[in-house]
Structure 1
């Protein structure tokens, strides 16, 4: 059985290739292949909110945004609940 991530990746790849071929055909230039890899950087940060800090290390200041961390990956100190600033 194929997972949803695989299906999403395949659909994204097919759509990306179709858009690339369409732009190449429309502009009749290989410049499209140089420009397209940078398109995701143009839309980076749109609609992204800052993550909520859930826990932090009292020694080094590492901030975890998920509850799955119990210890600091930098120095091994147990994380404490983030203080409201």
Structure 2
């Protein structure tokens, strides 16, 4: 079974290649292939929030929990603490 991240990566790659080939066909130059790696960057702002919110972290190893379900660090057993806000 293919994971959701793998499927998203494959779809993103296929869309990038299709857009690049379409631009190559339209502009009739191979220079558009230079833009292939940058197409995902153009759509980066449409993904919603920037990432998971860190709820707690381990003061010793730096483990960061994004859920309230953790009270202790799974790596060293230390009590998790609220992260320092900047």
Q: TM-score, normalised by structure 1?
A: 0.55
| Alignment deviations for residues 33-65 of structure 1 (CA, whole Å, 9 cap, x no partner) | 111202223443553245322221134655332
Q: Give the gaps of 5 or more residues in structure 1.
A: none
Residue 16 of structure 1 deviates from its aligned partner by 2.9
Which one has the bigger helix percentage? 2
Pairing 1:3-14 to 2, within 5 Å after superposition: 3=2, 5=4, 8=8, 10-14=10-14
Q: TM-score, normalised by structure 2?
A: 0.55
Correspondence for 2:53: 52
Q: 1:42 to 1:79 in 2, by over 3 A?
A: farther
* RMSD (CA atoms): 3.7
Q: Give the gaps of 5 or more residues in structure 2.
A: none
